[in-house]
Structure 1
C-alpha cells in the first residue's frame, strides 16, 4: 500500500513547495516585468506580469542616464579584490588559530568572535574618521579594507579556523617528518585540503561585497566611483522620485552575477554555514 501512496505523497510535496515558492519568485518576476514596462504601466490599476508594450529601450536608457557601465565595473572589481584578499588573510589567520598554540590564542579567538556581535552601524562613525584621517575618503579603499578586516573578514577567519581544526593532525606530523616547515605544511598540505572551505568563504565574501550599501553611501561622493547598490538608488527624476522602470531594469542587470554564483555553487553556499558547526 505504501508503494501506491508514495507517488501521491511526492506530488503533494512538490505542490506544497511550489506554493511556498510563490512569495519568493513573484517579486523577481515582477522586477523582470517592470524592467520592460513604462513608468505609467507599472502603476496601472490592472495587475499584469506581461506588459502591453515591451520597452526594451529601458536597458539602453539605464546606461545613458548615469555611468552605469563604470559603476558595474566598480562593483565587480571591488568584489573580486575583497574576495581574493579575504581568502588570503582568513586562510593564514584561521590556520594559525587552529594549529599554532601561542599565549592568548583563546582570548584572541574570543575577541574576534565578539566582533561579529557588533553591527556595522556602530562602527561606521569611527571608521569614517579613520578613513578621513588616512585621506581615503571618496576612494574605493574603504570598500576594500573594511570588509577584509571587519566583521566579514572575522567570519571568514572563523570558518577557516573551524575547517582547519577538523583536519587530522596525522597529516601535519607526516609532513613534518618529511622536512616541511610550518608554512610549507600550510601551503602544501592544509591549504589544498581546504578547497571546500575556501570556495564557501569566497562565495559568501563576494556576495557580501557585491551587496554592500552603507559603506559606499558614507565614503563615496563622486558618481563615477559609485557601486551598483548605491547607483540603483540614483535613478530618480528632477523631483527626487524614483524612476521605477529604470530601477527595475538596472536591478535585473545587477542580479546577474548573483544568480550565476548561486546556480554554479549552491552546494558550497549551503555547506559554508555548516562549517561553523564543525567540532573544534
Structure 2
C-alpha cells in the first residue's frame, strides 16, 4: 500500500512487476484533498471515536458486572442471551436501525453511528468484561456491598480498576471498529459531509485504475492513526496485565 501510494498516477500499466517507485511521487498525498474533504472526514471519525469508545466501555463494563453478580439461573440466562445476540448477523440489524433512528430524527449526523455504543457496540465486549470480572473473588464484591457501597460504587471503585486489561482491550477494539467501519455509516448517514473517513475512502475505491496511487495514498493516511492507536493500545494492555 505504501509503495503503491508513491507511484506516479496516470501512467500506462508497467511491463512486468514494478513495485519500487522511480521517482517517489510524494505529491499523491497532497492530491488526496482534491478528491475528498479529507480534513473534515478525519475530524468526523475522530469525533466518532472520542464519543463512542468511552460509552462502549462504560455500557459493556456495567453489563458484564451485572452478569457476574447475578445469581443462578439469571446468570445463565444473561450469558445465553448475550451469546445469542452475538450470533445474530450484522446485516439483520441494518434495516431496523435505519427505521428506528430515522423515526427518532437521529439519522444523518456525524454522531449517528456513535449511538450504537449505547447498546455496547457488540455483545462480545460484554462477555469479555464478564470473563474478566469472573476472575475477581466473589467475596471481594460481596464485602464491598456489605460495606454499604452502591452497585455503581462497586463497579467504579472495585470491579473496574481490577479489570484494567479488559478496559484497554475493549477500548482498543472498539476504537478500531469505529475508525474503520463503513457499512454502518453507509446505511445510517446519507450526507457526504457527515461521513467518517472510512466511508470517504470507500468512495475513492471507484476511481479509475490510473488514479489508484492517489487512492492508496488516502488509504495510508487513514490507516496510519489506527495503526498507531493499536500499537499504543497493545502496549497499554500488556502493562495493565503486568500491573494486574
Aligned-partner Cα distance in 1 for 2:145–2:186? 49
Match of 2:89 in 1: 119
Match of 1:250 in 2: 218
Are 2:22 and 1:52 aligned?
A: yes
Question: How far has the Cα of 1:102 moved from its partner?
Answer: 8.3
Aligned-partner Cα distance in 1 for 2:205–2:90? 27
Aligned-partner Cα distance in 2 for 1:72–1:42? 32
Match of 2:122 in 1: 153
Aligned CA distance change for structure 1 residues 50 and 106 (closer, same or farther; 3 Å): same
| Deviation string, structure 1 residues 143-169 (Cα, Å, up to 9, x no partner) | 11125416x331111111111111112
Aligned CA distance change for structure 1 residues 231 and 269 (closer, same or farther; 3 Å): farther
Q: Could you say what secondary structure the match of 2:220 adopts?
A: helix
Aligned CA distance change for structure 1 residues 175 and 221 (closer, same or farther; 3 Å): closer
Question: How far has the Cα of 1:83 moved from its partner?
Answer: 0.8
Match of 1:203 in 2: 172
Aligned-partner Cα distance in 2 for 1:184–1:79? 26
Aligned-partner Cα distance in 2 for 1:91–1:248? 37
Question: How far has the Cα of 1:177 moved from its partner?
Answer: 4.7
Are 2:206 and 1:231 aligned?
A: no
| Structure 1 spans left out of the alignment, 5+ residues | 1-30, 271-280
Aligned-partner Cα distance in 2 for 1:177–1:136? 42
Contact 1:262 1:269 in 2 (8 A): no
Aligned CA distance change for structure 1 residues 148 and 245 (closer, same or farther; 3 Å): farther
Match of 2:7 in 1: 37
Question: How far has the Cα of 1:106 moved from its partner?
Answer: 2.8
Aligned CA distance change for structure 1 residues 69 and 106 (closer, same or farther; 3 Å): same
What TM-score does the superposition give when structure 1 sets the normalisation length?
0.77
Aligned-partner Cα distance in 2 for 1:177–1:90? 25
C-alpha RMSD of the superposition: 2.6
Match of 1:90 in 2: 60
Contact 2:112 2:189 in 1 (8 A): no
Aligned-partner Cα distance in 2 for 1:146–1:259? 23
Q: 2:232 aligns with which of 264, 268, 275?
A: 264
Contact 1:36 1:51 in 2 (8 A): yes
Q: How many residues align?
A: 239
Aligned-partner Cα distance in 2 for 1:70–1:57? 20
Question: How far has the Cα of 1:105 moved from its partner?
Answer: 4.1
| Structure 2 spans left out of the alignment, 5+ residues | 239-244
Q: Could you say what secondary structure the match of 1:233 adopts?
A: helix
Question: How far has the Cα of 1:267 moved from its partner?
Answer: 6.0
What TM-score does the superposition give when structure 2 sets the normalisation length?
0.87
Aligned-partner Cα distance in 2 for 1:78–1:46? 43
Question: How far has the Cα of 1:206 moved from its partner?
Answer: 0.7
